[in-house]
Amino acid sequence: MTQSGDECGRVPDPVVERLSVYSRVLTVMLREGAITISSADLSERTGFSATQIRRDLAFFGQFGTPGVGYDVWRLHARLERILGVDIERRVVIVGAGNLGTALIGYTGFREHNFRIVAAFDIAPGRVGVTTQQGVRIHHVADLGRIVADEKAEIAVLAVPVAAAQPALDVVVKAGLRAVLNFAPTQLAVPPGVRLRNVDLSVEMGALSFYLGQDS
Amino acid sequence: MTQSGDECGRVPDPVVERLSVYSRVLTVMLREGAITISSADLSERTGFSATQIRRDLAFFGQFGTPGVGYDVWRLHARLERILGVDIERRVVIVGAGNLGTALIGYTGFREHNFRIVAAFDIAPGRVGVTTQQGVRIHHVADLGRIVADEKAEIAVLAVPVAAAQPALDVVVKAGLRAVLNFAPTQLAVPPGVRLRNVDLSVEMGALSFYLGQDS
DNA sequence: ATGTGTGAAGTGCTTCACAGCG
DNA sequence: CGCTGTGAAGCACTTCACACAT
């Protein structure tokens, strides 16, 4: 059942991830002054096959011109709309240790229209601090109230393994439906909550594995 | 063609990633004093199906006992061997900014037998510094020599987007065959070099997308 | 009885091949 | 002619179902 223009059936995870890449490449091309781009050009810039790119875009209707390609500005705008990054997304960081503070300082968030509105920790030495970037570190006990006040939508978990599940429970109870977890551990989420994991230990393990393969 | 016990045909990427998770769970179970574990138990602890777990392990021969399960110690040792994390892997960090220093301070590396032997940057204020953890920050110009001296095997790229491809070229020229890239950009690698990407911008984009879906 | 290992079936993403439009 | 959009085929990973080992 094709809707007004935003959603068309269930979109495979790999497709969503590639859309993000397309969007990023188009941002660069816009700056370069490109007017149109073919799937073959996009293929060269992303490493994904031209067929795959056309197929991915076809999930959301057809906006290419046969014989010409895609209008860069229009396609970019459309992708940002689909990904929901045309509006500012408000993010909270849970855990203000090594990684948490690095994330707060990461300029890439702003560039992609994500705004860190607050951070949380439980260590007395960290709570109450305001970072260089102007992000206030609150106690996790205040998370529910602040998430509501700040209208945050996404939580990033940068806490130790042992604190990850409790932290997730807190952000879910606060009503957040999208969570990015950096703790290398399996977490249980209630249905309706989207959890994505960035697992450094898995990444390193995989690289280590391949070292032993082709040698 | 089953070899002496390490490799059996091409192993799918998803399998390798799950092996890492199994290994981590088994480490915990060892500490808890568990002797044997069934695929059903592992399933509960990892969220992967019992069938999938058995199938994954079957890639490397059979080491379960019908009616009993797997010997925790033996399976753990076997997985660490397969992943190549039974021996210490030496790692260099390229880029000692926000993220790079957070990675240097990340204790999880040591726990999984990865040792950060050096870091690299080009900013005069950073080069020459030795971090709290005892990691020396060198100039990228010295990367080739130090990688050889330190017998490093894995590079982690924590540099800005614009510096990522040059940085990759440098580490490849230095002979490194496994690279973990944090810069949100597509990189070109010569064949034989394993590149894995941790792309925060893709992760956030995907979460943002799902926010717009189920609401 | 209980739990592994695996052929066979199923599922879902990717690639091919080409009709059709500009 | 060039490039999109897509049915059909291909491929790869996952799940089913069950023989077999203890």
Q: Judge if A77 and A168 occupy the same domain.
A: no
Asked if residue B212 is part of any domain, the answer here is no
Bridge partner residues of B156 (DSSP): B93, B180
CA-closest candidate to residue B89, choices A67, A207, A99, A34:
A207
Among A29, A59, A83, the domain boundary falls at A83
Asked if residue B94 is part of any domain, the answer here is yes
Q: Which two tokens stand for residue B131?
A: 């971090």
Task: Report how far residue B71's alpha carbon sits from residue B34's, in angstroms, rounded to the nearest whole number.
Answer: 9
Q: Judge if B100 and B165 occupy the same domain.
A: yes
What percent of chain A has a predicted confidence (pLDDT) above 70?
A: 96
Q: Judge if A95 and A197 occupy the same domain.
A: yes
pLDDT at position B23, please? 98
Task: Report how far residue A114's alpha carbon sits from residue A137's, in angstroms, rounded to the nearest whole number.
Answer: 18
pLDDT at A4 over 50: no
pLDDT at position A62, please? 87
Q: Judge if B79 and B152 occupy the same domain.
A: no
Phi and psi at residue B36, in whole multiples of 5°? -125, 160
pLDDT at position B7, please? 57
Asked if residue A208 is part of any domain, the answer here is no
| Cβ of residue A46 closer than 8 Å to a chain B Cβ | yes
pLDDT at A195 over 70: yes
CATH of the domain at A175: 3.40.50.720
Q: Judge if B62 and B102 occupy the same domain.
A: no
Q: Judge if B96 and B44 occupy the same domain.
A: no
Query: For residue range B23-73, what is the model confidence (pLDDT) as tens digits?
Result: 999 999 999 999 999 999 999 999 999 999 999 999 999 889 999 999 999
* E strand or H helix at B44: helix B39-46
Continuous H helices in chain A = 13-31, 39-46, 50-58, 72-83, 98-105, 108-111, 143-150, 161-173, 200-214
Q: Judge if A146 and A168 occupy the same domain.
A: yes
Task: Report how far residue B176's alpha carbon sits from residue A4's, in angstroms, rounded to the nearest whole number.
Answer: 50
Provide the positions of strand C that have an atom within 7 A of a protein CB: 1-7, 12-17, 20-22
Return the residue matching tokens 């496994």.
B178
Interface test mutation site (partner B, options A208, A210, A213, max chain B beta carbons within 10 A): A208
Counted domains in chain A? 2
Phi and psi at residue B172, in whole multiples of 5°? -65, -45
Which candidate from B7, B185, B198 shows the least CB-CB separation from A198? B198
In angstroms, the CA of B59 and the C1' of C8 are apart by 18
Q: Judge if A110 and A144 occupy the same domain.
A: yes
Q: Judge if A96 and A58 occupy the same domain.
A: no
How much is the average pLDDT of A202-207? Answer: 98
Q: Judge if B96 and B199 occupy the same domain.
A: yes
Task: Report how far residue A159's alpha carbon sits from residue A99's, in angstroms, rounded to the nearest whole number.
Answer: 8
Task: For residue A202, list chain B residues with Cβ-Cβ distance below 8 A.
Answer: 17, 20-21
Q: Judge if A13 and A78 occupy the same domain.
A: yes
pLDDT at position B214, please? 75
CA-closest candidate to residue A37, choices A8, A63, A11:
A63
Query: For residue range B89-140, what is the model confidence (pLDDT) as tens digits?
Result: 999 999 999 999 999 999 999 999 999 999 999 999 999 999 999 999 999 9
Among B83, B104, B120, the domain boundary falls at B83
Among B83, B117, B148, the domain boundary falls at B83
Asked if residue B135 is part of any domain, the answer here is yes
Q: Which two tokens stand for residue B104?
A: 């240097």
Query: How big is the CA angle at B17 (ends B85 and A167), to the nearest 5 degrees?
Result: 100
In a 10 Å sphere around its CB, with 0-12 CB exposed, 13-18 middle and 19+ buried, how is residue A27 labelled? middle
Asked if residue B208 is part of any domain, the answer here is no
Q: How far is CA A90 from CA A16, A173, A176, B4, B204, in A?
A: 20, 17, 11, 53, 11
CA-closest candidate to residue B116, choices B97, B139, B89:
B89
* pTM beyond 0.85: yes
Return the residue matching tokens 């080009």.
B122
Distance from CA of A207 to the nearest CA of B (A): 6
**Higher confidence at residue B214 or residue B164?**
B164
Q: Judge if A75 and A95 occupy the same domain.
A: no
CA-closest candidate to residue B180, choices B110, B111, B116, B107:
B116
3-state secondary structure of B116: strand
Nucleotide nearest residue A68, measured CA to C1' = D3
Residue A20, domain extent: 2-83
Measured from the Cβ of residue A109, the count of other Cβ atoms closer than 10 Å reads 21
CATH of the domain at A53: 1.10.10.10
3-state secondary structure of B7: coil
Asked if residue A209 is part of any domain, the answer here is no
Judge if the beta carbon of A58 is closer than 7 A to nucleic acid strand D: yes
* Band of pLDDT at residue A9, cut at 50, 70 and 90: confident
| Cβ of residue B86 closer than 8 Å to a chain A Cβ | no
Query: For residue range B4-23, what is the model confidence (pLDDT) as tens digits?
Result: 345 567 899 999 999 999 99
Asked if residue B17 is part of any domain, the answer here is yes
